[in-house]
Amino acid sequence: MTNPITISQYESESRNFPKKGEELKDTCNMNPMEKAQYLIKRKDAIEQEIIEWEEVLNSHKVGMNDSLLDSEGFPRSDIDIVQIRIARNKIICLKNDYKDIMKNIEQALYDVHKDNKEKKEKEKAQNLNNQRPFAIVNTVADNSPASKAGLLEKDKIINFGTINESNHENLKALAKTVMDNKNKPINITVQREENVIANLTLTPKEWSGRGLLGCHILPY
């Protein structure tokens, strides 16, 4: 299972984001990892700019909601009202940008997970293609556990639980796996015509016919 990717994983790489005024990059041609890292840098830049504008307010000893009028209703003369209003407006806009960037980061991290999963599945498929079948299904009885699992005649078995071409011991290990896993699901991988790979789950159990599987398997 792929470990979850979190924002903190990118924090160490997000310190060199373009300074204010520099042109933002187009993320369309970035791969998911590059896009996630870049968006984290944007997030950090927005956070820093918010802090800078908040320092402007602090220098006047006012917050976002403090009145800029004196007790008589006139603009206060002890503060730069224009600068304060600009700072407040900037902070509001930046906080909206921050909400948007966090949504984009969430999507980007999801895309990273998806991309990693697809790569692992591709690698797994390639590994399976490099493995050779060790057994072939000769017959499958109707309404048997094998039939219900989707096993077909002429299916070539690549993996049967942990059993493969290197350890099947002339199918003795397969038979033992079946007996040891009665009423328990076993993951199997088979190769079909035109090199189609199928992943099935077969549960050995008693049924109306012979054996626990209801199929006849031969060495390949």
Q: What CATH number is given to the structural domain containing 213?
A: 2.30.42.10
- Same domain, residue pair 87 and 123: yes
**Within a domain: 2:** no
Domain that holds residue 80: 8-130
Structure tokens at 201: 């789950």
- Same domain, residue pair 140 and 123: no
d(CA 175, CA 164): 13
Overall number of domains in the chain: 2
Tens digit of each residue's pLDDT (9 = 90 or more) over 132-176: 899 999 999 999 999 999 999 999 999 999 999 889 999 999 999
Of 17-21, 80-84, 207-211, the poorest mean pLDDT is in: 17-21
Tens digit of each residue's pLDDT (9 = 90 or more) over 47-60: 999 999 999 999 99
For residue 105, CA distances in Å to 5, 25, 34, 177, 218 come to: 11, 15, 11, 46, 52
Higher pLDDT, residue 213 or 25: 213
Helix locations, 60-193, DSSP H: 81-130, 145-149, 172-180
- Same domain, residue pair 68 and 148: no
Tens digit of each residue's pLDDT (9 = 90 or more) over 21-39: 455 677 788 888 999 999 9
- Same domain, residue pair 121 and 33: yes
Helix (H, G, I), strand (E, B) or coil at 94: helix
| Residue 197 in this model has a pLDDT that exceeds 70 | yes
Evaluate whether 112 touches 27 at the Cβ level (below 8 Å): no
For residue 149, CA distances in Å to 139, 141, 167, 217 come to: 14, 12, 23, 15
- Same domain, residue pair 203 and 162: yes
- Same domain, residue pair 30 and 139: no
For residue 202, CA distances in Å to 33, 44, 137 come to: 38, 51, 13
- Same domain, residue pair 32 and 12: yes
Q: Of 99, 130, 161, which residue sits at a domain end? A: 130
- Same domain, residue pair 58 and 112: yes
Specify which residues 89 forms β-bridges with.
Answer: none
